[in-house]
Structure 1
Amino acid sequence: MKDIIRNKRIELGLGQGQLGQCLGISASAIGMYEQGRRMPTADDIPVLCKVLKITPNELFGWDKENTVSANNDVSKRIDTLEALVSELIEQISRK
């Protein structure tokens, strides 16, 4: 996230103070975001994304391919758990 904030800010020709002003925070807070010493608050993320002209997924470094892949992995694990639970229920009901 830190590099994304810095790179997009520079790409848009904004100083840390200007970006901070948009968010109602100090230039030093933006500097801390860019150094990875601090994270934007949940309230600041939508404004930050709007000012930097990026989506929250882009801000967090998530891309569609990785998100879809993670969702598929979760779905597979859920299917496995459901099968195990069904098997256990069947074993219990036989007793």
Structure 2
Amino acid sequence: MLGSTIRKLRLSHKLTQSELGKKLKVSASTIGMYEQNRRTPDNNMLKDIARIFNVSVDYLLGMTDNSTSSLKINSQNPVLNDRDKKDIAKDLESIMSKIDSGEDGPLYYNGHEMSDEDKELFRDALEFALKRIKVENKQKYTPKKYRK
């Protein structure tokens, strides 16, 4: 199940195994083994795969058919389209590159400089917040005549 989901997502994003491997910092053969269910990605790898394809880990594991279940509160709420997802990814990368470069100094939380793991958690939380803001703004500012 997991392997076929990864393969389906990779093909739908028009990526080769090699291209996906580069994004995940693993070899193309590792991606092939994931897709053939001969090898199982660890939890961190699952999160990375989910982030690249903008789906939930639950979706990857076959626990839900809805790849963006956390963003839909009910059927009347707008969903994110590909352009929205690209805009969010661009904003997220811009923010994170400023943090990683130390442009405004190191990032601190609770009096301690954030580790790489902490920054990754911060990135995940920021991505979730940006998606939620986008959905709420779409709902708030979409004229009623365009709503279903």
Shorter-normalised TM range: 0.5 to 0.7
CA distance in 2, matches of 1:21, 1:63: 27
Q: CA deviation at 1:20?
A: 0.7
| Backbone CA RMSD of aligned residues | 1.2
Q: CA deviation at 1:49?
A: 0.4
Q: CA deviation at 1:46?
A: 1.0
Q: Per-residue CA shift, 1:44-74, capped at 9, x if unaligned?
A: 111110112210010000028xxxxxxxxxx
Q: Corresponding residue for 1:56?
A: 57
Alignment of 1:16-31 (within 5 A): 16-31=17-32
Q: Which has the higher contact order (CA 8 A, sep 6+)?
A: 1
Alignment of 1:30-45 (within 5 A): 30-45=31-46
- Identity rate, percent: 34
Q: Corresponding residue for 1:92?
A: none
Which has the larger helix fraction? 1
CA distance in 1, matches of 2:58, 2:29: 24
CA distance in 2, matches of 1:63, 1:48: 16
Q: What is the total number of aligned residue pairs between the two structures?
A: 64
CA distance in 1, matches of 2:25, 2:7: 17
Q: Corresponding residue for 2:48?
A: 47
Q: CA deviation at 1:22?
A: 1.0
Amino acid at match of 1:62: M
- Structure 1 runs of 4+ off > 3 angstroms? none
Q: Max radius of gyration: which structure?
A: 1
**TM-score w.r.t. length of structure 2:** 0.42
